[in-house]
Structure 1
Amino acid sequence: MSALRMLRHLLTPGWVLNRAFPSSALAAIESAVRTSEAAHRGEIRFAVEAGLDFADLRRGVTARERAVEVFSRLRVWDTAENTGVLIYVQWLDRRVEIVADRGIAARVAQDEWDAVCRLMENAFREGRFEQGAVDAVVATGALLVKHFPARPDNPNELSNRPVLLR
């Protein structure tokens, strides 16, 4: 692991996320999740993490491994139909990962999730953070509608609020 990467992670304060994701952006993402979930039985969580801690950096934790940890920590797996999806952004490494619970992973191919990640990464490269996040939520919802359309008893099992991990 590079010393520069470690220094960036350890010295970058969590508040840097507030520049890219101010309260108005978080509200837009939350609204997109709420609207999306009205059309399907999936549960979408959105999390952004500024940097990794020393222990994770020392162990060489990848963005994918960290996304799986966050999936568990946020209890995205805790849905009746195993239809939770985490959209995870590792800010400093500029990595986007989508982790889908087993109910969804069995029906949605990895290349479809990869396309959603690239959509968001392209918007982020252009500085369109809010729009990229909202577009990723909408695209995720479109995949879920195909396989898990809403039912009359469509409970909201997880919070729609985005999470900023510091």
Structure 2
Amino acid sequence: MARLSLKRFLRHRMWDEDDARRVLPAEALVRLQQRVAESEMRHTGEIRVCVEASLPLSYLWRDAPARERAITMFAKLRVWDTELNNGVLIYLLLADHRIEIVADRAAARRIDAGHWQQLVDTMRDAFRAGHFEQGLSDAIAAVDAMLVTHFPRDASTASPRPNELPDEPLLG
């Protein structure tokens, strides 16, 4: 069983939703929501952005990694439940400075893991410079490009596909 790290525990208790709102104010969230909505007009995938200030206590007690929480949020936000199995979650955990990309089955099969890692590295550079909105906006653009390549929207269909998931980023 993993041990609770006091240093990690204190770091997570110092971060709260106000800190998340400080790095991504309401205006930035609206712009990111618009980026997701515009992106989803170009492909059949779904993009969700989730930014959490810290982990719940139950995760800290088990010393759970950010990846575990990202996978939980992937399920909780129903990104896994899209009709074409090509949803992508962009997850940011502020207290641990962790970025996770979770892609559904179809997207994971078609898009090489190296592309996701490259995206994470680019985001990390932006976040280190304090450019959270720009880093997430660039990430949305990169995911958009991958989804357009592998899951383009079929212009010949009479009715567009429904938007299966909310476009606004989840902040917690």
Q: TM-score per shorter chain, which class?
A: over 0.9
- Matched residue, 2:153: 150
Q: Is the 8 A contact 1:10 1:53 kept in 2?
A: no
Which protein has the larger Cα radius of gyration, Structure 1 or Structure 2? Answer: 2
2: CA distance between counterparts of 1:76 and 1:128?
A: 26
Unaligned runs of 5+ in 2: none
**Cα deviation per residue 1:25-62 (whole Å; 9 max; x = unaligned)?**
10111011011111110000000010112210111211
1:64-85, CA deviations, whole angstroms, 9 ceiling, x for partnerless residues? 1110000001011121101111
The amino acid that maps onto 1:60 is D
* Runs of 4+ deviating beyond 6 Å: none
Please state whether the residue corresponding to 1:154 is helix, strand or coil.
coil
- Aligned residue for 2:166? 159
Distance (whole Å) between structure 2 residues aligned to residue 123 and residue 148 of structure 1: 27
Matched position secondary structure for 1:143: helix
Q: How does 1:47-58 map to 2 (within 5 A)?
A: 47-58=50-61
Matches within 5 A, 1:23-62: 23-62=26-65
Name the aligned partner's letter for residue 68 of structure 1: I
What is residue 104 of structure 2 aligned with on the other side?
101
Report whether the alignment pairs 1:131 with 2:134.
yes
State whether residues 5 and 63 of structure 2, in contact with CA within 8 Å, keep that contact through their aligned partners in structure 1. Answer: no
CA contact (8 A) 1:38 1:150 kept: yes
**Can you list the C-alpha shifts for 1:82-103, whole angstroms capped at 9, x where unaligned?**
1111000011100100000001
Matched positions, count: 165
Unaligned runs of 5+ in 1: none
Aligned to 1:15: 18
